[in-house]
Amino acid sequence: MTNTGNDMPSPLLTAEQCDERTRYLSEFMMPERFDALRRAAAMRTDYITVMTENMFHPQNASAIVRHCEAFGIRNIHTVETLCRFNPNLNIVRGTDKWIDIRRHESTAEAIRSLKADGYRIVATTPHRESCTPETFDVAKGRFALVFGTEKQGISDEVIASADEFLKIPMCGLVESLNVSASAAILIYMLSQRMRREVADWRLDDDRLSRMLYRWCRESVRGSEALLARGGFAER
């Protein structure tokens, strides 16, 4: 797995060292900007994550990045064996700076990694009788929402490995929604329920400190030079 989101702080830095650097960089921001970053960071979660499988339309990739950022999802996991997950910069409009995109070599590797981290694999498909956003048990434990290709949907490999299935009930004649529309509905509804029904959905202090420090580095122009000038250069 490779993390091709924004550069994370050195793992050698402690949370306290990240906090110290964050306070230093905050002096180079408007107070309102720093407050906005802190508020957004406080609402981030990795209790829910999203996995996409061979999503080839840049518009859909961009929309999913924006949905995750808007509703506080920290990570997106992508499988790109057939095509690259490639958000359109004109659509994503910088929101990819606030999301970690983790790229996997195969569906099997992505599922192994997610399950090792304690995630339930939840396949989103309109073709299986299963839970709806209203009946899905959000409090049962962390979960990864899996979205498939625009034409074929999720692969047989995901179906075989899924712990649960989730569908959006519809009363019209269409059988399914566009993948980005489905993602918006599910991410919004389930993240809202998570914040009401799950006690420990927030990031722990270590992850929060590291993420906020990275965000400050992204927000301050010339942050690396400023850190070096302030005696905070990372070795």
Over residues 174-233, the pLDDT tens digits come to: 877 889 999 999 999 999 999 999 999 999 999 999 999 999 999 999 999 999 999 987
**pLDDT at position 72 over 80:** yes
Please indicate, yes or no, whether residues 191 and 226 belong to a single structural domain of this protein. no
What does the pLDDT read at residue 225? 94
Measured CA distances, 83 to 52, 97, 210 (Å): 11, 22, 31
DSSP 45: B
| Residue 61 in tokens | 């990739």
Query: Mean of the per-residue pLDDT values for the chain?
Result: 91
CATH number at residue 91: 3.40.1280.10
> Between vectors from CA 79 to CA 131 and to CA 170, what angle results, nearest 5°?
30
Q: Express each pLDDT in 44-62 by its tens digit.
A: 999 999 999 988 888 888 9
**Structural domain containing residue 23:** 9-39+205-235
What does the pLDDT read at residue 7? 52
Please indicate, yes or no, whether residues 29 and 115 belong to a single structural domain of this protein. no
What does the pLDDT read at residue 127? 65
Neighbours of 42 (CB within 10 A): 12
Neighbours of 38 (CB within 10 A): 15
Identify whether 96 is part of a domain.
Answer: yes
Cα dihedral 130→133→136→137 (10° resolution) = 170
**Number of structural domains found in the chain:** 2
